[in-house]
Every structure is written in structure tokens, then in C-alpha cells.
Amino acid sequence: MTVPVARDLLFWCSIIDVGILVLWFLFFTFAHDFTYRVHGRWFSLSKENFDALHYALMGMFKLAVIMFNVVPYLVLRFVLS
């Protein structure tokens, strides 16, 4: 795999992953009760635990996107150009 191909792949992966994160945030914000009811059928979580779990997972996902997609893309874009 050449550097331009890897750079383009990381760029599009970053765009898709940030889109997933934004969609997750919007769905969690505007359909919170629906999401809680659906997950409440499967797991016995209080609303506070449900919110804390989603907040923590969104944070971990954001860090993973930055660490594994955005930073390598920026290195390939600006350092190895």
C-alpha cells in the first residue's frame, strides 16, 4: 500500500467514524427515552448508569478515532509528504 492510498483510506475512515460519533450523539440526545426503553428491555440499568455508560463509550470511541485515524492521517499528510 502506497502512502497516498493509506492517507486517503485514513481520511475517509476518519470522516465515517466522526459521522458515526455525531449520529450516535444526536440519536442519544434527541431520542434518549426511546433508546433507554429499548436497552431497558435487555439490561437492567438506571438512567444515570445508562447515561454514564454512553458518555464513557462515546469518549473512548472519540479517543480511538483520534488515535488510530486522525493522528496517522495527519502524520502521513504533513510529515511524510
User: What HEC string does 24-54 produce?
Assistant: HHHHHHHCHHHHHHHHHHHCCCCHHHHHHHH
Task: Identify the domain containing residue 17 by its residue range.
Answer: 3-79
Supply the mean pLDDT for the chain.
95
Residues 6+ apart with CB under 8 A from 17: 61, 65, 69
Q: How many structural domains compose the chain?
A: 1
Across residues 34-52, what is the average pLDDT?
Answer: 93
Residue pLDDT, tens place only, 51-63:
999 999 999 999 9
pLDDT at position 6: 95
- Rounded to the nearest 5°, which phi and psi values hold at 47? -60, -35
Taking the whole predicted model, whether its pTM rises above 0.85 is answered as: yes
- Is the pLDDT assigned to residue 47 strictly greater than 90? yes
Quote the CA–CA distance of 39 and 81 in Å, as a whole number: 46
Alpha-carbon torsion (66, 69, 75, 81), positive or negative: negative
pLDDT class of 80 with cuts at 50, 70, 90: confident
